Amino acid sequence: MSLVDAIEIVGHTDPGMVRSHNEDSIANDVRYGLAILADGMGGYNAGEVASGMATTVLMTELQQVLTHTPPFEPDEHGVEARTAAARLLRDQITKANTAIFSASQSQPQYAGMGTTLVMAVFYDNKMTAAHIGDSRLYRFRAGQFSQVTRDHSLLQEQIDSGMITEEEAKHSQNKNLVTRALGIDPTVEAELHDYDTQPGDIYLLCSDGLSDMVEDPEIGLTLETLGGNLTLAAQQLVQMANDNGGRDNVSVLLVKILKEYPAAKGLFGKFLGWFK
């Protein structure tokens, strides 16, 4: 089963109402089941450079790697398929981190640049998601809208330690402090998890420009009512963020699972795959 028939991916990014340029960057390739979103930071245009490098490096590298080694194939160590996908992403994220970090070290105008990252790869009725920082992944399934990732931010740490409640967090002045970012240090640890997907699921990858400006129930309502038209849903989400003030760049990637997409395993499966 080809991913192109089973998955629909739509992206939309907008500078918002206040910022002059867009430091968010998005990329997707339905053939490989890839969706990548980065929210850059750093002076002048360095934020754009960092997020652009993150999405470009990850997309081009993964397109190449996935052509040779599908993520559902156990790797040479015979490691379980799921960990193989996670390892694949971790390796490529390390590569992107090195690329951004060395650029920021060698070019003074890019010093200190970095970016958040949220990405997902879909394969064999599964999804492996990775994130760094406060860009988020949400899932809409059977009427339920829920946040899948947990931010790497000071605020999330304060919530976790019981210092403040989620309600208080909405009024916090420390909203903008992330505790992890891609490209600011020689090494980075991405958080990786595997999930099963179901037909009808809609996954939302977004920058904080959406999650800070639009309440979760409103986002859920949009996916519920406009899930039949992903392009319109993506536009609507960005529009709602802008209608509420659009204080930051807004980016969304929507992934809808149209039907099952089991991997063709083994020689016979691959052979059958020719006729599909």
Query: Considering the complex, what minimum distance in angstroms separates the CB of residue 53 from other proteins?
Result: 15
For other proteins, the binding residues (CB under 8 A) are 18-21, 23, 39-44, 47, 112-114, 116, 133-134, 153-154, 158, 163-164, 168, 170-181, 184-185, 208, 212-215, 218, 221-222, 225-226, 228-229, 232, 236, 239-240, 243-245, 247-248
Q: How far is the CB of 7 from other proteins (least distance, A)?
A: 18
Nearest distance from residue 90's CB to other proteins, in Å? 20
Nearer to other proteins, 201 or 208 (CB): 208
Please report how many Cα atoms fall inside a 13 Å half-sphere around the Cα of residue 100, on the Cβ side. Answer: 36
Of 21 and 270, CB closest to other proteins: 21
Nearer to other proteins, 124 or 208 (CB): 208
Residue 181, C-beta contacts closer than 8 angstroms, at least 6 positions apart = 41, 114, 115, 116, 132, 133, 188
CA-angle at 82, arms to 230 and 80, nearest 5°: 160
Burial of 142 (0-12, 13-18, 19+ CB in 10 A): exposed
Q: Considering the complex, what minimum distance in angstroms separates the CB of residue 76 from other proteins? A: 35
**Between 81-106 and 46-68, two packed helices, what is the crossing angle to 10 degrees?**
140
DSSP 8-class letter at 31: G
Q: 42 vs 71, which CB is nearer to other proteins?
A: 42
